[in-house]
Amino acid sequence: MNRQERMHLLSERTALQRMIAATPPEELIDLRSLNTRLEIVNLQLSDSPEDTRQPARARLTFRGRPVVGSYGIFAEFGMEATMAFTDAVAAVAASFTAPLQAMGPIPNRSQNQLLITSTATGSFGFELEEHGPEQLTLEDDSVLPSALEQMRQFLEGSTGSDDQLADVASEIDPRAVTAIRNFLDKLATNEAVCAVETNEGRFAFSDVGQVRTAVSRLATENLVEEEITVTGEFQGALPKRRTFEFVRVDDGEVLVGKIAPAIRNPDMINSHLHQRIELQLVRTKVGAGRPRYLLKELPQWPRDGKSPGG
């Protein structure tokens, strides 16, 4: 269980103990009911020690030409589509810890593995679960829960407005975007749709046409991601929200952007405000929407605290 679920059970246990203490002994039925519930709560708490958590899970299901109702799925499609999905999740997860190279192996792939633990019926698909030690601690620095949720949000954003798609795309490394497009292309080619369910929510494509539209919207001529260099000064950063403001010196425009998860100490920006620097940003623009900016790495600050050349 996660921390929130555990806190809820602890609160319920406290409430039950108070109710039992306040219930007269002659009200046997009420006491029996309260004590039974208290035993269940205590059992749930003992089954999941305080320093452990449940593994991240997702439900990936398919409909369409390769799927035979809730009975089965063509093996070749099921294998290739699930592999494309897990490749995309692994790319998203890896981008949380460091910027991805355009080519080569995905970093930390072995640490971001998903297990198929069961088939999912209704349509047909698979139950996926984070692979890790038997006991996962709350302090485990796992990015898979966030990666699965960001994957779901990206798929949902691919069916929204240009601005909605740009919002989610700007938070994901370009290589991870390409991996997601490959997954969607696999669906479209096989006339299939998918649904993805995480602990945070569920998204499902309505039909194959919607998948094909999503694929075309992720094409490089429509979703443009480019690395740019701007000169100016940081005006401030909100570390918890992971956003920043940067003013360009050439035209005075204030760029508002997001700070990539790979940056562990975003508050360092606030120690270097109003210093003129060259900053590398990823600029993301979808169709006619406005551009978004992502800071993937902290810049090299002037050693003396002054602007270069100052």
Please state the pTM of the whole predicted model. Answer: 0.74
Residue recorded with tokens 């059992």: 43
pLDDT at 53: 66
Neighbours of 25 (CB within 10 A): 6
pLDDT at 171: 86
Q: Can you give the pLDDT of all 310 residues of the chain as single tens digits?
A: 555 676 678 888 888 988 898 888 888 888 999 999 999 998 888 876 655 667 888 999 999 999 998 889 999 999 999 999 999 999 999 888 777 777 778 877 777 889 999 998 778 999 999 876 554 444 455 788 889 999 999 999 999 999 999 999 998 888 899 999 999 999 999 999 999 999 889 999 999 999 999 999 999 899 999 999 999 999 999 998 999 999 999 899 999 999 988 888 899 999 999 999 999 999 999 998 899 999 989 998 887 555 544 4
Rounded to whole angstroms, the Cα distance separating 215 from 219 reads: 7
For 275-301, the pLDDT digits (tens) are 999 999 999 999 988 999 999 899 988
Those residues whose C-beta lies under 8 Å from the C-beta of residue 204, and which sit 6 or more positions away, are 193, 194, 195, 196
Helices 174-189 and 144-157 pack at an angle, to 10 degrees, of: 60
pLDDT at 229: 95
pLDDT at 254: 95
pLDDT at 141: 57
Residue 275 φ then ψ, to 5°: -105, 125
Q: Which amino acid is at 28?
A: L
Alpha helix ranges (H) inside 128-269:
144-157, 162-169, 174-189, 208-217
Residue recorded with tokens 């669906």: 187
Neighbours of 288 (CB within 10 A): 9
CA distances from 12 to 20, 50, 285 (A): 12, 16, 48
**Exposed (0-12), middle (13-18) or buried (19+): which is 114, by Cβ within 10 Å?**
buried
| The pair of three-digit structure tokens given for residue 206, joined into one six-digit string | 């309505």
> Which of 244, 230, 247, 233 shows the shortest CA–CA distance to 275?
233
**Three-state SS letters, 9-35:** HHHHHHHHHHHHHHCCCCCHHHHHHHH
Transcribe 189-218 into DSSP letters: HTTEEEEEE-SS-EEE--SHHHHHHHHHHT
Rounded to whole angstroms, the Cα distance separating 244 from 281 reads: 12
pLDDT at 259: 93
Rounded to whole angstroms, the Cα distance separating 130 from 128 reads: 7
Residue recorded with tokens 């592999």: 83
Strand-pair partners of 118 = 127
Rounded to whole angstroms, the Cα distance separating 310 from 307 reads: 5
Rounded to whole angstroms, the Cα distance separating 131 from 58 reads: 12
Rounded to whole angstroms, the Cα distance separating 285 from 304 reads: 36
